[in-house]
Amino acid sequence: MLIELRASDDRLRGPKAVDAAPILTAAYRAAVDGRADLSRLRFVCDYIQYRQNFRDPVELRRVEPWNIEPGSPAADGESFEIAIDLRRARPDAVDAGIKASITDPRECDRLPLEKWGPGSRSLIWGFNTLYWKALSLWEQSTGKGYESALPGGESDARNAEAARELILRLFALWDGLASRRALPEELYVLELGVGNGNQARVFLDELRRLDREHGRGYFRRLHYLMGDYSPHVLELARKNVAHHSEHISSLVLDALRPTQTLGFLRYKAFLVYISNVYDNLPTDEIVRIGGHLFQVETRAVLARSAAESLSASVKVKRADLPDLIARLLRVGPELLCEMLPESFPKPVDAVTFWRSAWEALRLEERYAPLLELDTYQVAPDVGGELLRPIVEANGDVRMHISNGAAASFTDTLPLLHPHGVLLCHDLFVTDVHQYLNGFRGPGKYDGSVVNWVNGRLLQAIGSRRGFDVSFAPFAYRTGANIMTMTARARD
Amino acid sequence: MPATKLLATSVVGSYSVPEWLERLKTDFYQRRISGQYLEDIHEVAIKAALKDQETAGVDVVSDGELRRDNDVDYFLARMPGVEIPHAAKTFYYDYYDAYVRHALPVDDDSATLGLVNDLRFTLQYTDRPVKFSFTGPFSLARRVKNEAYSNPDDLVLAFAHILNREARALAEAGAAVLQIDEPFLAGYPEEVGLAVKAINLVYDGIQGPTRAVHVCYGNRYARPVWEGHYEFLFPAILDAQVDQLVLEFARKGYDDLGLFKKYPAGTLTLGLGVIDVKNPAPEPPELIVSRVRQALNVLPPDRLMINPDCGLRHVPADMARAKLRAMSEGAALVRAELLGSTPPEGEQP
Q: Check A466 against B224: CB less than 8 A apart.
A: no
Mean pLDDT of A451-466: 95
Closest by Cβ to B91, choosing from A388, A463, A467: A463
Mean pLDDT of B92-117: 94
Q: Check: pTM over 0.95? Answer yes or no.
A: no
What are the CA-CA distances from residue A205 to residues A69, A224, A242 (Å)? 63, 12, 12
Q: Which of A84, A105, A126 is the last residue of a domain?
A: A105
**Tens digit of pLDDT for each residue in B51-65?**
999 999 999 999 999
Q: How far apart are CA A417 and CA A267, in angstroms?
A: 4
Mean pLDDT of A313-342: 95
Same-domain check for residues A390 and A260: yes
Same-domain check for residues A164 and A96: no
| Domain of residue A402, CATH code | 3.40.50.150
Same-domain check for residues A162 and A91: no
Q: Please give the pLDDT value at position B1.
A: 46
The answer on pLDDT for A139 being more than 80 is yes
Same-domain check for residues A101 and A237: no
Closest chain A residue to the Cα of B252, Cα to Cα:
A267
Closest chain B residue to the Cα of A263, Cα to Cα:
B279
Q: Check B223 against A414: CB less than 8 A apart.
A: yes
Kindly report the number of other CB atoms within 10 A of residue A109's CB atom: 13
Same-domain check for residues A165 and A223: yes
Task: With respect to residue A67, please indicate whether it lies within any of the assigned structural domains.
Answer: yes
Q: Which of A88, A105, A122 is the last residue of a domain?
A: A105
Please report the ipTM that was assigned to this predicted complex.
Answer: 0.79
Nearest Cα of chain A lies from the Cα of B227 at a distance, in angstroms, of 6
Closest by Cβ to B95, choosing from A180, A467, A491: A491
Task: Give the number of domains in chain A.
Answer: 2
**Nearest to residue A358, comparing CAs of A188, A190, A130, A159?**
A130
**Tens digit of pLDDT for each residue in B231-261?**
999 999 999 999 999 999 999 999 999 999 9
Task: With respect to residue A215, please indicate whether it lies within any of the assigned structural domains.
Answer: yes
Residue of A173, A179, A180 best to disrupt the B interface, most CBs of B under 10 A: A180
Task: With respect to residue A211, please indicate whether it lies within any of the assigned structural domains.
Answer: yes
Q: Which of A75, A105, A135 is the last residue of a domain?
A: A105
Closest by Cβ to A267, choosing from B95, B221, B224: B224
Residue pairs between chains A and B whose CB atoms are closer than 8 Å: 40
Mean pLDDT of B267-296: 96
Chain A residues touching B228 at Cβ < 8 A? 180-182
Closest by Cβ to A489, choosing from B20, B223, B227: B223
Q: How far apart are CA A276 and CA A256, in angstroms?
A: 14
| pLDDT classification of B32: cutoffs 50, 70, 90 | very high
Task: With respect to residue A9, please indicate whether it lies within any of the assigned structural domains.
Answer: yes
Q: Check B228 against A180: CB less than 8 A apart.
A: yes
Same-domain check for residues A77 and A163: no
Task: With respect to residue A155, please indicate whether it lies within any of the assigned structural domains.
Answer: yes
Same-domain check for residues A278 and A155: yes
Q: Check B221 against A414: CB less than 8 A apart.
A: no
Q: Please give the pLDDT value at position A180.
A: 80
Q: Please give the pLDDT value at position A77.
A: 64
Closest by Cβ to B220, choosing from A385, A388, A466: A466
Mean pLDDT of B332-347: 82
Task: With respect to residue A121, please indicate whether it lies within any of the assigned structural domains.
Answer: no
Interface of A with B (CB under 8 A): 180-182, 184, 267, 374, 383, 385, 388, 414, 417-418, 463-467, 489, 491
Same-domain check for residues A160 and A80: no
Q: Please give the pLDDT value at position A105.
A: 57
8 Å CB contact between B316 and B52: no
Mean pLDDT of B116-144: 98
Same-domain check for residues A99 and A191: no
By the CB < 8 Å criterion, does B220 face chain A?
yes
Task: With respect to residue A319, please indicate whether it lies within any of the assigned structural domains.
Answer: no
Same-domain check for residues A92 and A10: yes
The answer on pLDDT for B88 being more than 90 is no
Same-domain check for residues A151 and A254: yes
User: A68: domain range?
Assistant: 1-105
Mean pLDDT across chain B: 94
**Tens digit of pLDDT for each residue in A170-196?**
999 999 999 887 899 999 999 999 988
Q: Check A267 against B225: CB less than 8 A apart.
A: no
Task: With respect to residue A332, please indicate whether it lies within any of the assigned structural domains.
Answer: no
Same-domain check for residues A91 and A172: no
The answer on pLDDT for A478 being more than 70 is no
